[in-house]
Structure 1
Amino acid sequence: MEDQLDVEVRDGAPAAPRKRQARGERRIAEILAAAARVLAAQGYERTTTNAIAAEAGISPGSLYQYFRNKDEITAELAATYAAGLRAAHDAAFDLADVAHLSPGETIDRVIDPILAFNLANPGFKALHARPDMPPGLAAAARPIHEALLGRVIGLLGTRFPQRSAVELNLAAQLMIQVFQASMPSITAAEPADRPVIVTEVKRMLSAYLKELAGR
Protein backbone atom coordinates (compact mmCIF):
# COMPACT_ATOMS: atom_id res chain seq x y z
CA MET A 1 0.00 0.00 0.00
CA GLU A 2 1.14 3.53 -0.74
CA ASP A 3 0.86 4.60 2.88
CA GLN A 4 2.75 1.56 4.16
CA LEU A 5 5.68 2.30 6.42
CA ASP A 6 9.22 1.16 5.69
CA VAL A 7 11.64 0.14 8.43
CA GLU A 8 15.31 1.06 8.27
CA VAL A 9 17.84 -1.41 9.60
CA ARG A 10 20.90 0.04 11.25
CA ASP A 11 23.71 -2.07 12.69
CA GLY A 12 21.52 -5.16 12.43
CA ALA A 13 18.63 -3.69 14.45
CA PRO A 14 15.45 -2.13 13.07
CA ALA A 15 15.28 1.64 13.44
CA ALA A 16 12.14 3.70 13.85
CA PRO A 17 9.62 3.32 11.00
CA ARG A 18 9.66 6.00 8.33
CA LYS A 19 7.41 6.67 5.38
CA ARG A 20 8.74 5.91 1.94
CA GLN A 21 10.42 9.16 1.05
CA ALA A 22 9.14 9.91 -2.45
CA ARG A 23 5.65 8.59 -1.88
CA GLY A 24 5.41 10.24 1.50
CA GLU A 25 6.43 13.63 0.12
CA ARG A 26 3.98 13.28 -2.74
CA ARG A 27 1.17 12.39 -0.37
CA ILE A 28 2.00 15.31 1.94
CA ALA A 29 1.94 17.66 -1.06
CA GLU A 30 -1.46 16.28 -2.06
CA ILE A 31 -2.82 16.79 1.46
CA LEU A 32 -1.51 20.35 1.61
CA ALA A 33 -2.97 21.17 -1.81
CA ALA A 34 -6.31 19.74 -0.70
CA ALA A 35 -6.15 21.72 2.54
CA ALA A 36 -5.53 24.93 0.58
CA ARG A 37 -8.61 24.31 -1.56
CA VAL A 38 -10.81 23.55 1.45
CA LEU A 39 -9.51 26.59 3.35
CA ALA A 40 -10.18 28.84 0.36
CA ALA A 41 -13.72 27.52 0.01
CA GLN A 42 -14.76 27.17 3.66
CA GLY A 43 -12.44 29.36 5.74
CA TYR A 44 -10.27 28.26 8.64
CA GLU A 45 -12.92 27.64 11.29
CA ARG A 46 -15.14 25.45 9.10
CA THR A 47 -12.26 23.42 7.68
CA THR A 48 -11.94 19.94 9.19
CA THR A 49 -9.49 17.10 8.74
CA ASN A 50 -12.33 14.97 7.37
CA ALA A 51 -13.04 17.58 4.70
CA ILE A 52 -9.34 17.77 3.82
CA ALA A 53 -9.09 13.99 3.59
CA ALA A 54 -12.16 13.85 1.35
CA GLU A 55 -10.76 16.57 -0.91
CA ALA A 56 -7.44 14.69 -1.12
CA GLY A 57 -9.24 11.45 -1.97
CA ILE A 58 -7.91 9.53 1.03
CA SER A 59 -9.33 8.21 4.27
CA PRO A 60 -8.99 10.19 7.51
CA GLY A 61 -6.81 7.34 8.81
CA SER A 62 -4.37 7.82 5.94
CA LEU A 63 -4.26 11.55 6.62
CA TYR A 64 -3.43 10.94 10.28
CA GLN A 65 -0.33 9.01 9.26
CA TYR A 66 1.11 12.35 8.16
CA PHE A 67 -0.63 14.99 10.31
CA ARG A 68 -2.19 14.60 13.75
CA ASN A 69 -4.70 17.42 13.39
CA LYS A 70 -5.75 20.51 11.46
CA ASP A 71 -3.27 22.72 13.28
CA GLU A 72 -0.35 20.63 12.05
CA ILE A 73 -1.66 20.79 8.49
CA THR A 74 -2.16 24.54 8.56
CA ALA A 75 1.24 25.11 10.19
CA GLU A 76 2.92 23.15 7.38
CA LEU A 77 0.84 24.98 4.78
CA ALA A 78 1.71 28.33 6.37
CA ALA A 79 5.42 27.47 6.17
CA THR A 80 5.00 26.63 2.48
CA TYR A 81 3.20 29.91 1.90
CA ALA A 82 5.89 31.81 3.78
CA ALA A 83 8.60 30.43 1.49
CA GLY A 84 6.55 31.26 -1.60
CA LEU A 85 5.77 34.75 -0.38
CA ARG A 86 9.43 35.47 0.36
CA ALA A 87 10.26 34.44 -3.22
CA ALA A 88 7.50 36.72 -4.53
CA HIS A 89 8.88 39.61 -2.48
CA ASP A 90 12.38 38.91 -3.81
CA ALA A 91 11.04 39.16 -7.35
CA ALA A 92 8.94 42.24 -6.56
CA PHE A 93 11.80 44.22 -5.09
CA ASP A 94 14.56 43.25 -7.52
CA LEU A 95 14.62 46.86 -8.67
CA ALA A 96 18.16 48.08 -9.11
CA ASP A 97 16.89 50.81 -11.46
CA VAL A 98 13.92 51.87 -9.32
CA ALA A 99 15.00 55.52 -9.18
CA HIS A 100 14.69 55.73 -12.97
CA LEU A 101 11.32 53.99 -13.31
CA SER A 102 8.09 55.91 -13.69
CA PRO A 103 5.52 55.56 -10.87
CA GLY A 104 3.42 53.27 -13.05
CA GLU A 105 6.39 51.07 -13.94
CA THR A 106 7.42 50.85 -10.30
CA ILE A 107 3.95 49.78 -9.20
CA ASP A 108 3.73 47.20 -12.01
CA ARG A 109 7.09 45.67 -11.09
CA VAL A 110 6.24 45.46 -7.39
CA ILE A 111 2.59 44.45 -7.54
CA ASP A 112 2.65 41.80 -10.26
CA PRO A 113 4.74 39.09 -8.51
CA ILE A 114 2.87 39.50 -5.21
CA LEU A 115 -0.48 39.49 -6.96
CA ALA A 116 0.47 36.37 -8.90
CA PHE A 117 1.36 34.63 -5.64
CA ASN A 118 -1.99 35.50 -4.07
CA LEU A 119 -3.95 34.32 -7.11
CA ALA A 120 -1.99 31.06 -7.29
CA ASN A 121 -2.54 30.33 -3.58
CA PRO A 122 -6.22 30.87 -2.71
CA GLY A 123 -5.78 29.26 0.69
CA PHE A 124 -3.25 31.94 1.71
CA LYS A 125 -5.91 34.50 2.60
CA ALA A 126 -7.80 31.99 4.74
CA LEU A 127 -4.73 31.61 6.93
CA HIS A 128 -2.90 34.93 6.84
CA ALA A 129 -5.70 37.46 6.41
CA ARG A 130 -7.66 36.30 9.44
CA PRO A 131 -8.18 38.90 12.20
CA ASP A 132 -8.06 36.04 14.72
CA MET A 133 -5.01 34.28 13.34
CA PRO A 134 -3.73 31.63 15.78
CA PRO A 135 -0.65 32.81 17.73
CA GLY A 136 1.63 30.29 16.04
CA LEU A 137 0.64 31.39 12.54
CA ALA A 138 0.80 35.05 13.52
CA ALA A 139 4.33 34.58 14.82
CA ALA A 140 5.35 32.87 11.58
CA ALA A 141 3.83 35.62 9.44
CA ARG A 142 5.16 38.58 11.41
CA PRO A 143 8.77 38.51 10.09
CA ILE A 144 7.49 38.36 6.50
CA HIS A 145 5.21 41.37 6.98
CA GLU A 146 7.96 43.28 8.76
CA ALA A 147 10.36 42.49 5.92
CA LEU A 148 7.78 43.68 3.38
CA LEU A 149 7.39 46.97 5.23
CA GLY A 150 11.16 47.41 5.30
CA ARG A 151 11.43 46.75 1.58
CA VAL A 152 8.71 49.25 0.71
CA ILE A 153 10.37 51.84 2.95
CA GLY A 154 13.69 51.14 1.19
CA LEU A 155 12.08 51.50 -2.23
CA LEU A 156 10.45 54.81 -1.28
CA GLY A 157 13.70 56.01 0.30
CA THR A 158 15.51 55.40 -2.99
CA ARG A 159 12.90 57.34 -4.94
CA PHE A 160 12.47 60.10 -2.37
CA PRO A 161 15.73 60.49 -0.44
CA GLN A 162 14.60 63.90 0.82
CA ARG A 163 11.75 62.38 2.84
CA SER A 164 12.13 61.76 6.56
CA ALA A 165 12.06 58.29 8.08
CA VAL A 166 8.66 59.08 9.61
CA GLU A 167 7.22 60.12 6.23
CA LEU A 168 8.61 57.03 4.50
CA ASN A 169 7.28 54.70 7.18
CA LEU A 170 3.80 56.21 7.00
CA ALA A 171 3.72 56.18 3.20
CA ALA A 172 4.88 52.54 3.10
CA GLN A 173 2.27 51.42 5.62
CA LEU A 174 -0.52 53.21 3.76
CA MET A 175 0.48 51.68 0.42
CA ILE A 176 0.63 48.18 1.88
CA GLN A 177 -2.75 48.62 3.56
CA VAL A 178 -4.37 49.82 0.34
CA PHE A 179 -3.00 46.84 -1.58
CA GLN A 180 -3.96 44.32 1.11
CA ALA A 181 -7.46 45.80 1.41
CA SER A 182 -7.94 45.38 -2.34
CA MET A 183 -6.90 41.72 -2.43
CA PRO A 184 -10.32 40.23 -1.44
CA SER A 185 -11.99 42.11 -4.30
CA ILE A 186 -9.29 41.02 -6.75
CA THR A 187 -9.24 37.35 -5.78
CA ALA A 188 -13.04 37.07 -5.62
CA ALA A 189 -13.59 38.71 -9.00
CA GLU A 190 -14.37 36.74 -12.13
CA PRO A 191 -11.24 36.31 -14.26
CA ALA A 192 -12.71 38.56 -16.96
CA ASP A 193 -13.37 41.35 -14.45
CA ARG A 194 -10.12 41.08 -12.48
CA PRO A 195 -7.87 43.17 -14.79
CA VAL A 196 -10.17 46.18 -14.39
CA ILE A 197 -9.89 46.03 -10.59
CA VAL A 198 -6.12 45.51 -10.71
CA THR A 199 -5.74 48.48 -13.04
CA GLU A 200 -7.70 50.73 -10.68
CA VAL A 201 -5.65 49.64 -7.66
CA LYS A 202 -2.44 50.30 -9.57
CA ARG A 203 -3.73 53.73 -10.60
CA MET A 204 -4.38 54.64 -6.97
CA LEU A 205 -0.91 53.56 -5.89
CA SER A 206 0.76 55.24 -8.87
CA ALA A 207 -1.12 58.47 -8.15
CA TYR A 208 0.11 58.34 -4.57
CA LEU A 209 3.71 57.94 -5.74
CA LYS A 210 3.27 60.93 -8.06
CA GLU A 211 1.82 62.96 -5.20
CA LEU A 212 4.78 62.09 -2.98
CA ALA A 213 7.15 63.22 -5.73
CA GLY A 214 5.34 66.54 -6.06
CA ARG A 215 5.39 67.53 -2.39
Structure 2
Amino acid sequence: MSEPDERPRRRQARGERRVSQLLQAAANVFCAVGYTASSTNAIAREAGVSPGTLYQFFPNKEAIAVELSGQLIKEMEATHGRIFTAETARLPLGRLIDEVTDPFIEFNAANPAFLALIQGPDTPGRVADEHNVLHDSLLEQVTELLAVRVPSLSRAERSLIAEMSFAMFKAGLNLVMQHREDRRDAYARELKGVLYRYLEPYVGVDAVAAP
Protein backbone atom coordinates (compact mmCIF):
# COMPACT_ATOMS: atom_id res chain seq x y z
CA MET A 1 0.00 0.00 0.00
CA SER A 2 1.37 3.43 -0.93
CA GLU A 3 2.11 6.21 1.54
CA PRO A 4 -0.86 8.38 0.38
CA ASP A 5 -3.19 5.41 1.01
CA GLU A 6 -1.77 4.91 4.49
CA ARG A 7 -2.37 8.48 5.67
CA PRO A 8 -6.19 8.31 5.82
CA ARG A 9 -5.95 5.01 7.69
CA ARG A 10 -3.57 6.49 10.25
CA ARG A 11 -5.82 9.51 10.69
CA GLN A 12 -8.83 7.25 11.15
CA ALA A 13 -6.99 5.14 13.74
CA ARG A 14 -5.93 8.26 15.65
CA GLY A 15 -9.50 9.53 15.55
CA GLU A 16 -10.83 6.23 16.92
CA ARG A 17 -8.29 6.29 19.73
CA ARG A 18 -9.25 9.87 20.58
CA VAL A 19 -12.95 8.99 20.66
CA SER A 20 -12.24 6.05 22.98
CA GLN A 21 -10.15 8.34 25.19
CA LEU A 22 -12.97 10.90 25.39
CA LEU A 23 -15.62 8.25 26.11
CA GLN A 24 -13.55 6.78 28.93
CA ALA A 25 -13.03 10.26 30.36
CA ALA A 26 -16.78 10.91 30.11
CA ALA A 27 -17.50 7.64 31.90
CA ASN A 28 -15.18 8.70 34.73
CA VAL A 29 -16.80 12.13 35.03
CA PHE A 30 -20.37 10.78 34.87
CA CYS A 31 -19.54 8.32 37.67
CA ALA A 32 -17.84 10.97 39.78
CA VAL A 33 -20.42 13.77 39.61
CA GLY A 34 -23.39 12.38 37.67
CA TYR A 35 -24.59 13.30 34.21
CA THR A 36 -26.37 16.47 35.33
CA ALA A 37 -23.35 18.07 37.00
CA SER A 38 -20.86 17.01 34.34
CA SER A 39 -19.65 19.29 31.55
CA THR A 40 -17.69 19.08 28.33
CA ASN A 41 -14.91 21.10 29.99
CA ALA A 42 -14.66 18.54 32.79
CA ILE A 43 -14.61 15.69 30.29
CA ALA A 44 -11.90 17.37 28.22
CA ARG A 45 -9.86 18.01 31.37
CA GLU A 46 -10.24 14.36 32.43
CA ALA A 47 -9.11 13.25 28.96
CA GLY A 48 -6.14 15.62 29.03
CA VAL A 49 -7.21 17.48 25.90
CA SER A 50 -8.51 20.95 25.12
CA PRO A 51 -12.26 21.61 24.82
CA GLY A 52 -11.59 22.45 21.18
CA THR A 53 -10.25 18.95 20.59
CA LEU A 54 -13.34 17.46 22.20
CA TYR A 55 -15.62 19.52 19.96
CA GLN A 56 -13.90 18.07 16.91
CA PHE A 57 -15.57 14.77 17.77
CA PHE A 58 -18.68 15.63 19.82
CA PRO A 59 -20.85 18.76 19.63
CA ASN A 60 -22.04 18.57 23.24
CA LYS A 61 -22.33 16.50 26.39
CA GLU A 62 -25.51 14.79 25.20
CA ALA A 63 -23.81 13.44 22.09
CA ILE A 64 -21.07 11.95 24.27
CA ALA A 65 -23.63 10.34 26.55
CA VAL A 66 -25.54 8.88 23.59
CA GLU A 67 -22.38 7.38 22.08
CA LEU A 68 -21.18 5.98 25.42
CA SER A 69 -24.59 4.54 26.24
CA GLY A 70 -24.86 2.97 22.80
CA GLN A 71 -21.53 1.20 23.19
CA LEU A 72 -22.40 -0.06 26.68
CA ILE A 73 -25.79 -1.33 25.56
CA LYS A 74 -24.16 -3.24 22.70
CA GLU A 75 -21.80 -4.86 25.18
CA MET A 76 -24.67 -5.79 27.46
CA GLU A 77 -26.67 -7.20 24.54
CA ALA A 78 -23.70 -9.38 23.65
CA THR A 79 -23.62 -10.56 27.26
CA HIS A 80 -27.28 -11.49 27.58
CA GLY A 81 -27.21 -13.19 24.18
CA ARG A 82 -24.95 -15.82 25.77
CA ILE A 83 -27.07 -16.17 28.91
CA PHE A 84 -30.70 -16.72 28.08
CA THR A 85 -30.56 -20.15 26.49
CA ALA A 86 -32.63 -23.31 26.88
CA GLU A 87 -29.62 -24.98 28.51
CA THR A 88 -29.44 -22.26 31.15
CA ALA A 89 -33.18 -22.52 31.80
CA ARG A 90 -32.89 -26.21 32.68
CA LEU A 91 -30.07 -25.84 35.24
CA PRO A 92 -30.67 -26.36 38.97
CA LEU A 93 -32.20 -23.16 40.31
CA GLY A 94 -29.13 -22.01 42.21
CA ARG A 95 -26.90 -22.40 39.17
CA LEU A 96 -29.50 -20.80 36.92
CA ILE A 97 -29.56 -17.70 39.12
CA ASP A 98 -25.75 -17.60 39.15
CA GLU A 99 -25.55 -17.91 35.37
CA VAL A 100 -28.05 -15.11 34.80
CA THR A 101 -27.09 -12.62 37.50
CA ASP A 102 -23.29 -12.89 37.68
CA PRO A 103 -22.57 -11.50 34.19
CA PHE A 104 -24.82 -8.48 34.78
CA ILE A 105 -23.28 -7.76 38.18
CA GLU A 106 -19.81 -8.05 36.64
CA PHE A 107 -20.80 -5.82 33.71
CA ASN A 108 -22.12 -3.06 35.96
CA ALA A 109 -19.13 -3.31 38.29
CA ALA A 110 -16.83 -2.88 35.29
CA ASN A 111 -18.99 -0.13 33.75
CA PRO A 112 -20.46 1.99 36.57
CA ALA A 113 -21.17 4.75 34.04
CA PHE A 114 -24.07 2.65 32.73
CA LEU A 115 -26.18 3.08 35.87
CA ALA A 116 -24.95 6.66 36.30
CA LEU A 117 -26.31 7.48 32.86
CA ILE A 118 -29.67 5.72 32.92
CA GLN A 119 -30.57 6.83 36.45
CA GLY A 120 -29.86 10.53 36.02
CA PRO A 121 -32.80 12.94 36.38
CA ASP A 122 -32.12 14.51 33.00
CA THR A 123 -30.85 11.53 31.07
CA PRO A 124 -30.94 12.34 27.33
CA GLY A 125 -34.10 11.10 25.68
CA ARG A 126 -32.29 8.87 23.21
CA VAL A 127 -30.36 7.19 26.02
CA ALA A 128 -33.61 6.59 27.91
CA ASP A 129 -35.28 5.21 24.77
CA GLU A 130 -32.44 2.80 24.06
CA HIS A 131 -32.46 1.64 27.66
CA ASN A 132 -36.22 1.02 27.50
CA VAL A 133 -35.71 -1.15 24.42
CA LEU A 134 -33.00 -3.09 26.26
CA HIS A 135 -35.24 -3.45 29.32
CA ASP A 136 -38.11 -4.84 27.25
CA SER A 137 -35.79 -7.26 25.48
CA LEU A 138 -34.36 -8.57 28.74
CA LEU A 139 -37.81 -8.94 30.24
CA GLU A 140 -39.01 -10.91 27.22
CA GLN A 141 -36.02 -13.23 27.43
CA VAL A 142 -36.63 -13.89 31.13
CA THR A 143 -40.24 -14.73 30.21
CA GLU A 144 -39.04 -17.15 27.51
CA LEU A 145 -36.61 -18.73 29.96
CA LEU A 146 -39.54 -19.44 32.29
CA ALA A 147 -41.49 -20.95 29.40
CA VAL A 148 -38.66 -23.42 28.76
CA ARG A 149 -38.33 -24.35 32.40
CA VAL A 150 -42.03 -24.56 33.29
CA PRO A 151 -44.13 -24.95 30.12
CA SER A 152 -47.28 -25.39 32.19
CA LEU A 153 -47.22 -21.75 33.28
CA SER A 154 -49.59 -19.51 31.34
CA ARG A 155 -48.26 -16.54 29.43
CA ALA A 156 -49.77 -14.21 32.02
CA GLU A 157 -48.13 -16.13 34.87
CA ARG A 158 -44.75 -16.13 33.15
CA SER A 159 -44.96 -12.40 32.48
CA LEU A 160 -45.87 -11.63 36.09
CA ILE A 161 -43.07 -13.78 37.52
CA ALA A 162 -40.57 -12.31 35.05
CA GLU A 163 -41.55 -8.73 35.92
CA MET A 164 -41.30 -9.36 39.65
CA SER A 165 -37.96 -11.16 39.32
CA PHE A 166 -36.55 -8.42 37.11
CA ALA A 167 -37.71 -5.68 39.47
CA MET A 168 -36.11 -7.48 42.42
CA PHE A 169 -32.87 -7.87 40.52
CA LYS A 170 -32.69 -4.21 39.46
CA ALA A 171 -33.37 -3.01 43.02
CA GLY A 172 -30.80 -5.43 44.42
CA LEU A 173 -28.26 -4.52 41.75
CA ASN A 174 -28.44 -0.87 42.76
CA LEU A 175 -27.71 -1.88 46.35
CA VAL A 176 -24.82 -4.12 45.29
CA MET A 177 -23.27 -1.31 43.24
CA GLN A 178 -23.53 1.18 46.11
CA HIS A 179 -20.97 -0.75 48.15
CA ARG A 180 -17.23 -1.13 47.88
CA GLU A 181 -15.86 -4.10 46.02
CA ASP A 182 -15.00 -5.96 49.23
CA ARG A 183 -18.66 -5.82 50.33
CA ARG A 184 -20.36 -6.49 47.02
CA ASP A 185 -20.16 -10.27 47.23
CA ALA A 186 -22.16 -10.31 50.45
CA TYR A 187 -24.93 -8.18 48.93
CA ALA A 188 -24.87 -10.23 45.72
CA ARG A 189 -25.41 -13.40 47.78
CA GLU A 190 -28.37 -11.80 49.53
CA LEU A 191 -29.83 -10.74 46.20
CA LYS A 192 -29.51 -14.27 44.84
CA GLY A 193 -31.12 -15.62 48.01
CA VAL A 194 -34.12 -13.33 47.53
CA LEU A 195 -34.53 -14.48 43.92
CA TYR A 196 -34.12 -18.14 44.92
CA ARG A 197 -36.82 -17.95 47.58
CA TYR A 198 -39.20 -16.11 45.27
CA LEU A 199 -38.72 -18.43 42.28
CA GLU A 200 -38.56 -21.77 44.10
CA PRO A 201 -42.34 -22.32 44.39
CA TYR A 202 -42.83 -21.57 40.71
CA VAL A 203 -39.91 -23.26 38.97
CA GLY A 204 -38.58 -25.84 41.45
CA VAL A 205 -34.97 -26.26 42.50
CA ASP A 206 -33.76 -29.28 40.52
CA ALA A 207 -32.39 -29.45 37.01
CA VAL A 208 -35.03 -29.94 34.32
CA ALA A 209 -34.59 -32.64 31.68
CA ALA A 210 -34.69 -31.62 28.04
CA PRO A 211 -37.83 -32.79 26.24
- 1:182-193 paired onto structure 2 within 5 Å: 182-193=172-183
Q: Give CA-to-partner distance per residue, 1:52-78, whole Å, 9 cap, x none.
A: 011111111111111110011011001
Name the structure 1 match of 2:15.
24
Number of residue pairs matched?
199
Counterparts in 2 of 1:81 and 1:194: CA distance versus 1, 3 Å: same
Tell me which amino acid in the other structure corresponds to 1:44: Y
Any unmatched runs of 5+ in structure 1?
1-7, 10-16
Q: Give CA-to-partner distance per residue, 1:101-122, whole Å, 9 cap, x none.
A: 1111100000111111111101
Q: What's the offset of the Cα at 1:132?
A: 4.6
C-alpha RMSD over aligned residues? 2.0
Q: Is the 8 A contact 1:92 1:114 kept in 2?
A: no
Counterparts in 2 of 1:195 and 1:51: CA distance versus 1, 3 Å: same
- 1:1-12 paired onto structure 2 within 5 Å: none
Q: Is the 8 A contact 1:38 1:47 kept in 2?
A: yes
**How far apart, CA to CA, are the structure 1 residues paired with 2:123 and 2:196?**
31
**How far apart, CA to CA, are the structure 2 residues paired with 1:121 and 1:176?**
20
Q: Give CA-to-partner distance per residue, 1:133-167, whole Å, 9 cap, x none.
A: 33211222222111101100011111111111111
Report the TM-score, using the length of structure 2 for normalisation.
0.88
Q: Give CA-to-partner distance per residue, 1:84-129, whole Å, 9 cap, x none.
A: 1101211222442522x11111000001111111111010011123
Q: Is the 8 A contact 2:86 2:148 kept in 1?
A: no
Name the structure 2 match of 1:159.
149
Name the structure 1 match of 2:208.
none
Larger helix fraction of residues: 2
Runs of 4+ in 1 over 6 A off after TM superposition: none
Q: 2:65 is matched with which residue: 65, 70, 74?
A: 74
Any unmatched runs of 5+ in structure 2?
205-211
Tell me which amino acid in the other structure corresponds to 2:117: L
**How far apart, CA to CA, are the structure 2 residues paired with 1:56 and 1:65?**
14
**How far apart, CA to CA, are the structure 1 residues paired with 2:62 and 2:145?**
36
Counterparts in 2 of 1:111 and 1:97: CA distance versus 1, 3 Å: closer
Counterparts in 2 of 1:211 and 1:131: CA distance versus 1, 3 Å: farther
**How far apart, CA to CA, are the structure 1 residues paired with 2:123 and 2:35?**
9
**How far apart, CA to CA, are the structure 2 residues paired with 1:151 and 1:172?**
9
* 1:44 equivalenced with 2:35 (yes/no): yes
Larger strand fraction of residues: 1
**How far apart, CA to CA, are the structure 2 residues paired with 1:183 and 1:173?**
15
How high is the sequence identity, in percent, across the aligned residues?
41
**SS of match in other structure, 2:87:** coil
**SS of match in other structure, 1:36:** helix
